[in-house]
Amino acid sequence: MNKLANMRHWSERMGPGFGMSRPNMNMTAITPQHKPVHGSSPILSPTSAETPIHYSFNVPFASDLAGPNVEDILYATVGAVERWTHPADAPDDVPIYELPVHAQNVTNLRKLCKDLTSGPLPIEAYVKSSEPKRVKGQVTNVCLSGSPELVHKSRETILNDTPLALRCAVVDVEGDLVIDTAQTALKSHVVEHLDQIAAFCGVDVFLLGPKFASLVDGQNANGDAGRDQRFRVAIYGDMESAEHAKTRVLIFIDRLLGRVVDGTMLELSLHTVVCGRSRKNIKLIESTTNTAIYFPPPFSQVYRYCPAGAQRRNPEEIFITGDTAQNIALAKQKIHELVTRTRIFMKDAIVSAAKIDSILLSRLDKVRKIMETNGTFIQFPALASQRSMIRIQGVEGLHVERTVRDVMSLTGQFYSASWWIQQADTSRLPSPNDIRTMLSDICANSDADVSFDKLTFTITGSDDAVKAALMVISEIRFVTRSQYQIRVKIELANEHKEFVSGKKNGKINKIMGQSSVQIIFDGFNEYNFNIDVCGANYEAMKSGLSLVEQEMPASISFHVPDQYHKRIIGIGGQHIQRIMKKHSVFVKFSNAMDRGGVGREDDDIKVDNVICRTPARNAQNLELVKSEILDMVDRVDSEFTSQTVNVDRLYHRQLIARLSQLEELEKKWNCKIIFPSTETASDDVTISGPEWQVPHCVDEFLGMVPDNHELVLASTPELIKFLESAQFTNDLVPKLKAQYVVEVQVTEDANELTEDGKPTVTLLWTFTRNNAGGVRDAIDFLHSNLAAAGIEATTVKGAIPRPKSDSFEESLQYFDSKLLQHAPHVSTDSPTKASFGEEVARERSTIFDKLRKPGSMSSISSFLDRRKNSSHSPAGSFFKNGSSNVSKSSLISIESTRSFNADRNPWNDSGVNLPDDDTTPWPTRHFGNGSGSSNDHKPSQLQHPGDATPKHTVRASIDSGRDSGRPSTSHSTNSGYPGPIGPPRS
């Protein structure tokens, strides 16, 4: 077997048709040509200047997006109900993709392709919709035939004239803002404005009623069901249009709240840069000026689709709402000052055009997170434009470099492959119609883009999609009966070259000898290089590719405060050497100097500064190494984690105005409090920090959030006398305040009556969210005092049921016993959650039980009126199915997305030599769906494109101690110091 060093020019000696990809064409110069007379196919014309190619791709319709429940609809804009609901006579099992809106999208696509085919240019476009076995739902596929230039230009036209990946954006709104005082009809100006938004943005808008709880969990003795107090505005449309309409709905709600609306203009490429890392600068401006600032989506330049008759949002327009015009003017001034102080660093990078399209179609959530984390802007070319240049800009070269590396790491999640048929029987070659059918089937079953040119298949897409496409091609008769070559190209960061190849290319040479494939490293650029796996047999190539993937780096990164690094490394690296040798995992540390020097902003304090890396076949040991390292860290600095707290988004503004208190809270508990972007309309606040500190920080943070609960009781003379007595005022109320940290006030509401029309009395309980768990205990305490006074209180509304006592309670209904008392299911109309149930019992068993004052840390706002609708607001987006379809080779890498040194390259080592298994030295890895389970031999269900964890980290870092050691290899005699590790030093 030839060594790798002797095969550097092997690809140059191959045939000219062996190339993996076609050079980028200039898409701007297209000369219209007359089509031949009817009866002859333009793609078979012998006078064509270029040999025609066939190109097949899936159109990412969101055909699984269902419309709202008809029972919840209070109002819908013109035609919305007809488009998003099935007809009344439709059967119950009709699939979602047969909704009129989805069927119309496919019809429009067919018309567009028919116009392209019958147009003046020699191009043919065919549409096929199917339900392949390997994919859930319907897949719509387009196959283009013609010259390469026209094919790519037609693909660009189709993708930019089609509403890709429809989504539903939800905004919660208080009922009194949209319902008139009598609550018998919607406010007319609200309905008119929703109609204007729908027409201006080209979307369908529904006003949905409050979300009712299920009868099992929310039904009380009176048969009432608990409900969320807020109404929902559901916006259906493509990504850009839905975001535009959502922002205008949020601004309209601000107007209803009496706020002033204004705006300013700023170049799109400066938006994320001016916002700062994690939007810190903008949150500071919002807190000091009491304003809300709405930025447009950062990818407006990528998608050019706009619904008919609608207006796209100006990508440079920023909306600002505030209490007064002076506050808005002050916010504008501060933004202008930020811009004038901003220095821009730029860098260009080259990424394959096919991979740019894949990122834009399936990884925009990752890209958005990278931009927000680093405070940078990434300029992508337009979708399907066949341009390969991206530009990154930011305020610091370090952040720009980190962004480039993070984006380049995303490219490793996509493969490209070529199946080159060398000698084929010309009498058995398929016809153009057969080719189109074949490519459509390959595309539909794999979700990869496939082209056929000069007896060569070219496949691009995610790693699993490319491998699935190769498997489908291997079952085609005319392909398998011919001689062929297969070449799969994997992109990997340069610093991992020797990690994968091994000492003196030992790993690669062993794989080539084991599986009879050729492996070539080429295509080196500033950041990445390509691994080409070539074989003359499909099974051999599959085996070789699987073995290469087993050698790909799997990594995990986490944060350990710098002061613990020396303790973990040990004298001469003895401690870390023992851990690395025990688990065959390589560990690197990075301190503040490595990350750019001392004195950087606070965000760098909590950056992941420890990275553990090992070949993928040993990935299961990464968590073991992490746990051993964290065992040497004091509890106060334990593993960093995060928790999401649900707070009404409108109250975020008041919390951000208390920024100084929040900063003190962060310093006290070494945590970070992150508010969502204003335009997301999310209720979720994220608190991250050490595992044992986050609960304390959450408790104090919720102590800044007021809440209340109304308990309505039937009015009786005895009850009124008791509530007006000195015992209640001077004795009971102070006890409730002291023991349960809950205050109570007695009021009367003439509109609140019992079922038989009798008057009621209302007890208003006020508290902070961290003490919400004590409300039920306080109510029980009040009832016990009423019972002691001989007063029978009848609850009309607001009862809080107790959680289930044990798992046998549900079975007791089958036993007729007077000794067994059943706990009735009662509901509540508290503004914080529908009822207690299994979820409450689960919450009460958490670590927060130890931290709350009386009762439970479980917030009443989390179990009575949790804003469940907010989870639907940003989630049903263009980048859905986040981790449900993480590919097999991507799943093994558990890493963070930020690098801790972009300027150095310390990972130039051969990795870790794992002990060989005498029986099965090369563990096999299935080539299919990537589930990693024992059922891998079964056909997989390919999901829609979504987020995937990068295969390799970009977290380059110099070894902070130079004494951290490295694991012993087969060429090393130093086994490290085996001494035990003592307890953590104080």
Q: What pLDDT score does 800 carry?
A: 81
- Of the pLDDT bands very low, low, confident and very high (cuts 50, 70, 90), residue 607 is confident
Q: Residue 169: name the closest of 99, 229, 105, 248 by CA.
A: 248
pLDDT reading at 625 higher than 70: yes
pLDDT reading at 366 higher than 70: yes
pLDDT in tens, 576-602: 999 999 999 999 998 765 665 444 444
Distances (CA, A) of 766 to 292, 444, 831, 833, 857: 28, 57, 12, 15, 16
Q: What pLDDT score does 862 carry?
A: 41
User: Any residues with CB less than 8 A from the CB of 835 and at least 6 apart, and which?
Assistant: 213, 217, 218, 226, 801, 825, 826, 827, 828, 863, 864
The more confidently predicted of residues 305 and 219 is: 305
pLDDT reading at 925 higher than 70: no
pLDDT reading at 523 higher than 60: yes
Distance separating alpha carbons of residues 131 and 140, to the nearest angstrom: 9
Q: What pLDDT score does 593 carry?
A: 59
890-904: average pLDDT:
40
pLDDT reading at 807 higher than 50: yes
Provide the whole-model pTM: 0.75
Token representation of residue 829: 């109309």
Q: What pLDDT score does 874 carry?
A: 40
Q: What pLDDT score does 37 carry?
A: 35
Distance separating alpha carbons of residues 850 and 696, to the nearest angstrom: 10
- Of the pLDDT bands very low, low, confident and very high (cuts 50, 70, 90), residue 422 is confident
**Residue 621 in 3-state DSSP?**
helix
Distances (CA, A) of 948 to 72, 739, 903: 35, 49, 26
pLDDT in tens, 441-478: 999 999 999 999 989 999 999 999 999 999 999 999 88
Distance separating alpha carbons of residues 595 and 168, to the nearest angstrom: 40
pLDDT reading at 844 higher than 80: no
Q: What pLDDT score does 622 carry?
A: 95
Token representation of residue 469: 């496409």
pLDDT in tens, 685-716: 999 999 999 999 999 999 999 998 989 998 88
- Quick one: 671 exposed, middle or buried, by C-beta within 10 A (0-12, 13-18, 19+)? buried
Min mean pLDDT across 15-19, 122-126, 273-277, 478-482 is at 15-19
pLDDT in tens, 291-300: 999 999 999 8
Distance separating alpha carbons of residues 810 and 789, to the nearest angstrom: 34
Other CB atoms within a 10 A radius of the CB of residue 69 amount to 12
Ramachandran class of 839: left when φ > 0, alpha when ψ lies in -120 to 50, beta otherwise: alpha
pLDDT reading at 171 higher than 70: yes
The more confidently predicted of residues 970 and 818 is: 818
Q: What pLDDT score does 481 carry?
A: 86
pLDDT reading at 438 higher than 60: yes
Give me the domains of the chain, ranges plus CATH numbers.
414-555 (3.30.310.210), 556-592+604-631 (3.30.1370.10), 640-703 (3.30.1370.10), 706-797 (3.30.70)
Other CB atoms within a 10 A radius of the CB of residue 905 amount to 13
Radius of gyration of the chain from its Cα atoms, rounded to whole angstroms: 32
Q: Average model confidence (pLDDT) for the chain?
A: 78
**DSSP assignment of 437-505, as one string?**
HHHHHHHHHH--EEEEETTEEEEEEEHHHHHHHHHHHTT-HHHHTSEEEEEEEEEEEGGGHHHHH-GGG
Token representation of residue 837: 């149930």
174-203: average pLDDT:
89
pLDDT reading at 25 higher than 90: no
Q: What pLDDT score does 747 carry?
A: 87
The more confidently predicted of residues 12 and 116 is: 116
**DSSP assignment of 211-226, as one string?**
PBPPHHHHB-TT--B-
Q: What pLDDT score does 638 carry?
A: 84
Residues 255 and 195 sit within 8 Å (Cβ to Cβ): no
Q: What pLDDT score does 828 carry?
A: 39
Distance separating alpha carbons of residues 253 and 246, to the nearest angstrom: 11
Distances (CA, A) of 290 to 246, 658, 660: 21, 10, 14
Q: What pLDDT score does 797 carry?
A: 83
Q: What pLDDT score does 923 carry?
A: 42
pLDDT reading at 259 higher than 80: yes
Please report the sign of the dihedral spanned by the C-alpha atoms of residue 822, residue 824, residue 825, residue 830: negative
Highest average pLDDT, of 477-481, 617-621, 754-758, 791-795, comes from 617-621
Q: What pLDDT score does 49 carry?
A: 44
Q: What pLDDT score does 59 carry?
A: 94
Q: Residue 528: name the closest of 411, 689, 672 by CA.
A: 411
Highest average pLDDT, of 540-544, 785-789, 793-797, 924-928, comes from 540-544
pLDDT in tens, 238-254: 999 999 999 999 999 99
First-residue to last-residue Cα distance in the chain: 57
pLDDT reading at 836 higher than 80: no
Residues 525 and 575 sit within 8 Å (Cβ to Cβ): no
H or E element, residue 318:
strand 317-322
DSSP letter, residue 730: I
Q: What pLDDT score does 525 carry?
A: 87
Q: What pLDDT score does 803 carry?
A: 62
The more confidently predicted of residues 355 and 885 is: 355
Q: What pLDDT score does 450 carry?
A: 97
Residues 552 and 615 sit within 8 Å (Cβ to Cβ): yes
